A and B are shown apart, each in its own frame.
Chain A
Amino acid sequence: MGPDDIPLFAMLKSRMGYLSQRQKVIAQNVANADTPEYQPRDLKAYSFKATLDQQSEGQPYRGGVVSPTATNGVQMMATSAAHMAPAKTISPWRSPEQADSETTLDGNSVTLEDQMLKMTDARMNYDAAVGFYQKSMALLKTSTRRPGG
């Protein structure tokens, strides 16, 4: 039993994973700011479904209430040989091409200002998630402390 077994921590971990993945995608865009015909990418907004897709590995669903935030997640049960499992993707979050506000003559649509804004956004959200994680951890510590200790 680790912190990941608590839904709140699992959710925060997933959120932090999403934000550092976004940071990587932004780094790719900034790196290619002068590459001809390069289209910037951005992750799809953090959603319940993406979180669920990420955790699709685990015990098959056998009825009853399943907590989607549990670390083992849910998986469709294959009752026939013809049933197909969803393909595993490298990244749980899709990164579609998303042009910025300007496109230069060489076909590059990366706008450094837009990317810097996105990066700051990712960083602030990340800091918030880490702060939340620490506060929750402190709460957990308080609750396990000996009375008067």
Chain B
Amino acid sequence: MTEIRSQSMATMAIAASALKAQQGRMRVIAENIANANSTARTAGGDPYRRQVPVFKPTQVAGGEGVSMAKVDPDRSDFRTEYDPGNPAADAKGYVKLPNVDTLVEALDMKEAQRAYEANMNVIETSRAMESRTLDILRK
């Protein structure tokens, strides 16, 4: 890790790490929504399990940024539906459906978007401050 002397460069590196983390979170949400109806391939098997991203503070150049530490499976129960004709149905005719709630995913997506915008705001403010500083040279 290179040492960054400029405070504003450190600020940008921190915000950039957050943009990356939120981007990763969006990827996980997309995965969940895409697989909201993915049932098992075998009869009576487990369907797609919802994935949850976990963030942790991470040292980036010049400060404490953030990164996606891991993606944990959501351990809540699967939904079941009576559908004897389905190839994934068990002996009693029930099909296990993923524990993905598209409403929850949509809310999560909104939150990721909000956090992303906030970090873009930080970069923009930092940039404006830096250019104000450079203005001292010009006049």
- Name A's B-contacting residues (CB within 8 A): 16-17, 19-21, 23-24, 26-28, 30-36, 38, 112, 115-116, 119-120, 122-123, 126-127, 130, 133-134, 137-138
Binding site secondary structure of chain B? helix
Interface pairs (30), CB distance under 8 Å: A20-B11, A21-B7, A23-B8, A23-B11, A24-B14, A24-B62, A24-B63, A27-B15, A27-B63, A27-B126, A30-B15, A30-B115, A30-B119, A31-B119, A33-B115, A33-B118, A34-B22, A34-B115, A35-B55, A35-B66, A115-B118, A116-B118, A116-B121, A119-B125, A120-B125, A127-B129, A130-B132, A134-B135, A134-B136, A137-B139
Interface size grouping (class) on chain B: 35 or more
- Interchain CB contact under 8 A, A27 and B135: no
Cα distance, A116 to B114, chains bound together (Å): 12
Cα distance, A137 to B138, chains bound together (Å): 12
- Interchain CB contact under 8 A, B10 and A38: no
- Interchain CB contact under 8 A, A27 and B57: no
- Interchain CB contact under 8 A, B55 and A27: no
Extra contacts, 11 of them, besides A34-B112, A35-B56 (Cβ < 8 A), are A16-B133, A20-B11, A27-B63, A31-B14, A31-B17, A31-B64, A32-B66, A34-B111, A35-B57, A116-B121, A137-B136
Q: Decide if B128 is an interface residue (CB 8 Å cutoff).
A: yes
- Interchain CB contact under 8 A, A112 and B136: no
Chain A residue nearest to B65 (CB atoms) is A31
- Name B's A-contacting residues (CB within 8 A): 7-8, 10-11, 14-15, 17-18, 21-22, 25, 54-57, 62-66, 111-112, 114-115, 118-119, 121-122, 125-126, 128-129, 132-133, 135-136, 139
- Interchain CB contact under 8 A, B122 and A119: yes
Cα distance, A26 to B123, chains bound together (Å): 11
